[in-house]
Amino acid sequence: MSVIQSMANQYRSGQRRVSDTIQSRLATITQQDPTIRAFLSVHTDQALAQAATLDQWFKEGRELPLLAGIPLAIKDNIHVKNTPTTCASKLLQHFIAPYHATVTERLLNQHAIIMGKVNMDEFAMGSSTENSAFQITRNPVDPSRVPGGSSGGSAAAVAANMVVGSLGSDTGGSIRQPASFCGIVGFKPTYGRVSRYGLVAFASSLDQIGPLTRTVEDSAIMLDAICGHDPLDSTSSPRPTPSFFTQLNPDVSGLKVGVPRELISEHVMPEVRESVMAALDRLITQGVSWEFFSMPSLKAAVSTYYIIAPAEASSNLARFDGVRYGHRADGCATVKEMMQATRGDGFGDEVKRRIMIGTYCLSSGYYDAYYNKAQAVRRVIQQEFNTAFAQYDVIITPTSPTTAFSIGQHHHDPLSMYIADIATIPVNMAGLPALSIPCQPSDPLPVGLQLIAPAFEEQRLLNLGLAYQQVAGWATLLEVHNA
């Protein structure tokens, strides 16, 4: 059952007021967030005012969208007008967004209620939400562990029942990996399916906005709201968007699944592998067949990504120089000194690391040796996916090779942190849609199952995800009716 649909039905029948829902979620934030630390800002007055208006509209019997009155959270690299967009960085600590991101505007047009902005790894660079300049977010399943990243605040807010859904951004797994660690659903749409206008860019050819929710149905509802062409984003696809929610169909019999050997190898924790294999066995009961196959280029995906993404980040983050907006260092004699001091003081260690890697790869004498070769490998990865999809309807992998690790465990070992995205990075490199669903919410820690489909086949992923959700029964364990 969809949490959103259940809540919407209660609003329409008069069983529940929007104001009661919002006050309850604000109370949960007050109770839970001092420990979890998912929120960077909470929009209490705006949320309560919007709720009061919606209560009146429901009382009048107005026909409103499913998302009307649904409490949501927004990752703090997505603009919400007249509120801070910090990207969890000192450099943007006092920056106020002058306009709505397209996805924000579309949610507000559906009368969804934005409860606040949530924490992330600084400028979306990280896999643990430990790189935030302001606070470390904790995993609601086990607060001694990370929630994943970079959309860790988005995942934690949903998993802790502070909100019903949230938006994150995904450049190399930043929606799917936190969803996996927190035992919820995370969807990375096809590149171009969702507008990036109003998203602070990390790596423009890889970034994509998507939802984090408790059920597959809720993911479909949020996708219906945010997908579609946007003339303000030159990379936005003009392809028509179907109604994902109304076309949900858990009958997936006859679907053929491929499992890449390279992504269920010795790098994967035994308990993760066991959970994924058990999930595949459950899918067989739904008429799905599967087999192992090989994608040799996947072994090079992480190395390729950590040339292309930092190169694009080096270019995108050059705008943060203290001249136009954000933090500016004081007491500098020249503009050059001011820029150096601003960036040196404003950026955290991981952001500086990636800027330096990217600048080096783009520098004279190294552009061909690194960046051009990485782009060639990227094309090979894309071609191998195309070959695989000529044979399989869906590719399945673990979302992450591990369960949520302890806070501080990998913080000073960036290479081990980078390897954690081995299964998610190839999807961004190829611009494909992917869905992470729980193999089980927590036993004792959540394990995510990643479903990958050809470009613009989001519906296929949602249908298969729904079929697995029903046979596995984890939606019932999440107590969605009481969420």
Using CA atoms of 433, 449, 209, 295 in order, give the dihedral in degrees to the nearest 10. -40
237 has catalytic annotation: no
Model's pTM, two decimal places?
0.96
For 353, the enclosing helix (H) or strand (E) is helix 349-362
How many whole angstroms separate alpha carbon 189 and alpha carbon 192? Answer: 8
Instruction: Catalytic residue, from 174, 237, 400, 442: name it.
Output: 174
Instruction: Catalytic residue, from 6, 19, 75, 436: name it.
Output: 75
φ, ψ (nearest 5 deg) of residue 142: -155, 100
174 has catalytic annotation: yes
150 has catalytic annotation: yes
- Give the amino acid at 202: F
Are the C-beta atoms of residues 227 and 365 closer than 8 Å to each other? no
- Domain 3-255+434-482: CATH architecture, name and number where available: Alpha-Beta Complex (3.90)
How many whole angstroms separate alpha carbon 126 and alpha carbon 403? Answer: 16
Closest-CA residue to 225 (of 57, 78, 81, 68): 68
How many whole angstroms separate alpha carbon 73 and alpha carbon 38? Answer: 10
Q: What is the DSSP string of 359-421?
A: HHHHSTTTIIIIIIHHHHHHHHHHHHHHHHHTT-SEEEEESSSS-PPBTTSSTT-HHHHHHTT
pLDDT of residue 442: 65
How many whole angstroms separate alpha carbon 156 and alpha carbon 147? Answer: 6
Count CA atoms closer than 13 A to 235's CA, side-chain side: 18
How many whole angstroms separate alpha carbon 305 and alpha carbon 378? Answer: 8
pLDDT of residue 481: 38
Structure tokens belonging to residue 161: 């029942």
Question: Where do the structural domains in the chain lie, given as residue ranges?
Answer: 3-255+434-482
pLDDT of residue 325: 84
* Full pLDDT tens readout for the chain, 483 residues: 699 999 999 999 999 999 999 999 999 999 999 999 999 999 999 999 999 999 999 999 999 999 999 999 999 999 999 999 999 999 999 999 999 999 999 999 999 999 999 999 999 999 999 999 999 999 999 999 999 999 999 999 999 999 999 999 999 999 999 999 999 999 999 999 999 999 999 999 999 999 999 999 999 999 999 999 999 999 999 999 999 999 999 999 999 999 999 999 878 999 999 999 999 999 999 999 999 999 999 999 999 999 999 999 999 999 999 998 889 999 999 999 999 999 999 999 999 999 999 999 999 888 999 999 999 999 999 999 999 999 999 999 999 999 999 999 987 888 888 888 999 999 999 999 999 999 976 678 999 999 999 999 999 999 999 999 999 986 654 544 344
- Give the amino acid at 97: A
Structure tokens belonging to residue 440: 């089980």
Instruction: Catalytic residue, from 150, 154, 180, 219: name it.
Output: 150
